[in-house]
Structure 1
Amino acid sequence: MRSLLLPLALLAGCATVPAPTPAPTPSATLPTAVVTASGETAAVATANADAADDPAVWRNAADPAASLIIGTDKKAGLYVYGLDGKVRDFSDAGRVNNVDVANHKGRAIVAASDRNDNASAHVALFGLDPATAKLTVLGRVPAGAGEAYGLCLYAAPDALYAFVVLKDGTINQLALDLSGPAPSARIVRTMKLGTQSEGCVVDPRTRRLYVAEEDVGLWRFDARAGGATTPVKIAAADGREIVADAEGVAIAAEGRGNGGYLVVSSQGDNAYAVYRLSDDRYVGRFRIGAGAFGATSETDGIEIATGNFGPQFPGGLMIAQDGDNAPAAQNFKLVDWRKVKAALGLR
């Protein structure tokens, strides 16, 4: 086309070829604070691959320093770490992507989104022994047609629910039954976002489910089995608060009622956006920068647990997957939650 336009322009004398309209550029991100990690886990065994993905925390109320971290290697299985970052156990569960843990009827139950069959989603279920830090396989339950991607648990008064986010944005709510010799589940409700989604978390205090739609932004739903299925948009992945992909989502519950903060991984610029739970208002963003344990980049899953976690984390703990832990394989970074609050001026 260019070879034809140039001779025509010369023949036309003063005629000129219009300049192309420049492509729109993303809005500049907002000011971003920097904190440093206070610890890290051992690297996952799968090297030279995008492998580590999502963490969860089981808090030992009797001895907070003895709390445990569960993390996925989405190529191989589930790790259990101590707060010192050392591996305490590994379960070769295969392609498990997201993980969560809940206390249910006196037991610590671990659930992971099972992608071993891309056409048929499952939830892999485990019992966690706090004394030995060992996982016991309970079984797998079907979670609908499609590829299992995101997962979060909701310990409601009536049942233990698992929300399974399929890769196409479908969200199936499963009621789990762990009373028999093998677990079972039934889909009680289905919700839908328009495109690929993954990270999710439930605030049991307000019965709200939060889900990240990767290229679109952050949404919330009613988490109750009989609740409305219409989502409410909290924030857009517009290059300011969140730079796509919107990935992991975590809640820092504080105070009574709906106090605390919602954090989402802004993967596109290696940062984290923070929203106030009481009114969904944006309150700031931060990065985990270089320090004794290195920075984080391209973070997938995150987790935050408030309260006392022993001398190293007396004011709460944030865990973030690190997409580039070179020269070692990927791992999870541990951050003192007090550092984040101080950096953003949060009370």
Structure 2
Amino acid sequence: MTLAIALGGCAAATPDWATIAAANPAPTVTASRETDAVATANADAADDPAIWRNAADPAASLIVGTDKRAGLHVYGLDGRDRHFVDAGRVNNVDLIETRIGGEPAVLVAASDRNDLAAARIALFRLDTAAARLVPIGTVAAGAGEAYGICLAARGDGVDAFMVVKDGTINQVAIDLSGAAPSGRIVRTMKLASQSEGCVVDPRTRRLYVAEEDVGIWRFDAAPDGATTAVPVARVDGRTLVADVEGLAIAPEGAGAGGWLIASSQGDNAFSVYSLADDRYVGRFRIAAGALGAVSETDGIEVARGGFGPDFPDGVMVAQDGDNAPVAQNFKIVDWRQVRRALGLR
């Protein structure tokens, strides 16, 4: 992520967040809970979350978060760290309910950047009862540094969209039917510069990708679909400020209803767009309350539905890049607050 402002020939300086925020006012919400800090201290380490909703017991839902220098954490909805798996340099993460070896399971996929010249996808089964990640293997995902990743169901299988750091997007069909997973690249798309965040709307089969200094694009997620990028939102320094980082979908109603949320990292805000027509809806910030404010956000995730009495309409989880005096973590926001702040209906 790009957080520093270069000063002609001098060392980079920390941005004046107060000045940047004052230039781009936005309503605020506050975090209700936060996770334990990631394992790596004194570094930019926490990056991206994914949420598994326990339909039988929503309050027992789980959050998987990356420490991009060390591995993956599994947190309870209370924020407590339940499990850590040493996976090395894994950057982004997503999960999906599918079948592994013919049995119903929750698949977790992370962008594996342990080899900067060869992108791979690290795959795990989420043991939802024990809140543990069980490694099941890795699959190749093309040349270059693995950066962003998002998943989509396709028939009985899963497509992984690997966003390579240079803006290449490889669609990888993952086969989980055998003793070990396998994958093959079925399509490649390309953006012009560094990209990372991505998300698929499963209802419309639209893939959204964030090109960090440029804006947000969407593609047809079908393996035989067009590879042309359609612009959704441009970095304009006001409604969306570079870097554009994490993306999340908040569905609403039938069809294509709901919102696309983007981390406007350059001014510590989150920009919201209509999924129906790409219209800009508004923006908000996560301010200090009972817990600290959220800033320098990389990955985000939103899950709708009941998550117990404290989160009856869904949750938003956001990486917090400044969680001093301890290491970075993830903040958990009641989705009702966002709806109220922006007047979403």
Q: Is 1:261 equivalent to 2:259 in the alignment?
A: yes
Output the TM-score relative to the length of structure 2: 0.92
Cα separation, 2, equivalents of 1:341 and 1:80: 27
Q: Equivalent residue of 2:337, what SS?
A: helix
2:242 corresponds to which of 230, 241, 244: 244
1:68 corresponds to which of 43, 55, 62: 62
Q: How does 1:158-237 map to 2 (within 5 A)?
A: 158-237=156-235
Cα separation, 2, equivalents of 1:327 and 1:163: 35
User: Which amino acid letter does the alignment assign opposite residue 259 of structure 2?
Assistant: Y
Cα separation, 1, equivalents of 2:266 and 2:46: 18
Q: Equivalent residue of 2:313, what SS?
A: coil
Cα separation, 2, equivalents of 1:257 and 1:31: 32
- Partner of 2:302 in structure 1? 304
Q: How does 1:36-47 map to 2 (within 5 A)?
A: 36-47=30-41
- Partner of 1:145 in structure 2? 143
CA contact under 8 A between 1:111 and 1:126: conserved in structure 2?
A: yes
CA contact under 8 A between 1:113 and 1:150: conserved in structure 2?
A: yes
- Partner of 1:155 in structure 2? 153
- Partner of 2:90 in structure 1? 96
1:168 Cα deviation after fit:
0.1
Q: Equivalent residue of 2:40, what SS?
A: coil
1:29 Cα deviation after fit:
5.7
Q: Equivalent residue of 1:338, what SS?
A: helix
Runs of 4+ in 1 over 3 A off after TM superposition: 28-31
CA contact under 8 A between 1:67 and 1:83: conserved in structure 2?
A: yes
Q: Percent identity?
A: 72
1:312 Cα deviation after fit:
1.5
1:159 Cα deviation after fit:
2.3
1:299 Cα deviation after fit:
0.1
User: Which amino acid letter does the alignment assign opposite residue 71 of structure 1?
Assistant: G
Cα separation, 2, equivalents of 1:316 and 1:136: 27
Q: How does 1:25-44 map to 2 (within 5 A)?
A: 31-44=25-38
Cα separation, 1, equivalents of 2:343 and 2:62: 29
Q: Equivalent residue of 1:65, what SS?
A: helix
User: Which amino acid letter does the alignment assign opposite residue 79 of structure 1?
Assistant: H
1:157 Cα deviation after fit:
2.3
1:54 corresponds to which of 24, 48, 67: 48
User: Which amino acid letter does the alignment assign opposite residue 286 of structure 1?
Assistant: F
Q: Which runs of 5+ in 1 are unaligned?
A: 1-25
Cα separation, 1, equivalents of 2:59 and 2:155: 28
Cα separation, 1, equivalents of 2:234 and 2:265: 13
Per-residue CA deviation, residues 283-313 of structure 1 (Å, 9 max, x unaligned), is 1000000111110111000000011011111
Q: CA RMSD in A?
A: 1.1
- Partner of 1:344 in structure 2? 342
1:238 Cα deviation after fit:
1.4
CA contact under 8 A between 1:199 and 1:212: conserved in structure 2?
A: yes
Q: Equivalent residue of 1:299, what SS?
A: coil
1:293 corresponds to which of 291, 313, 317: 291
Output the TM-score relative to the length of structure 1: 0.91
Q: How many residues align?
A: 321
- Partner of 2:128 in structure 1? 130
CA contact under 8 A between 1:171 and 1:190: conserved in structure 2?
A: yes
CA contact under 8 A between 1:29 and 1:239: conserved in structure 2?
A: no
CA contact under 8 A between 1:53 and 1:321: conserved in structure 2?
A: yes
Q: Equivalent residue of 1:44, what SS?
A: coil
1:156 Cα deviation after fit:
2.1
1:31 Cα deviation after fit:
4.1
Quickly say closer, same or farther: Cα 1:317–1:224, change in 2 above 3 A: same
Choose 1 or 2 for highest CA Rg: 1
Cα separation, 2, equivalents of 1:284 and 1:238: 14
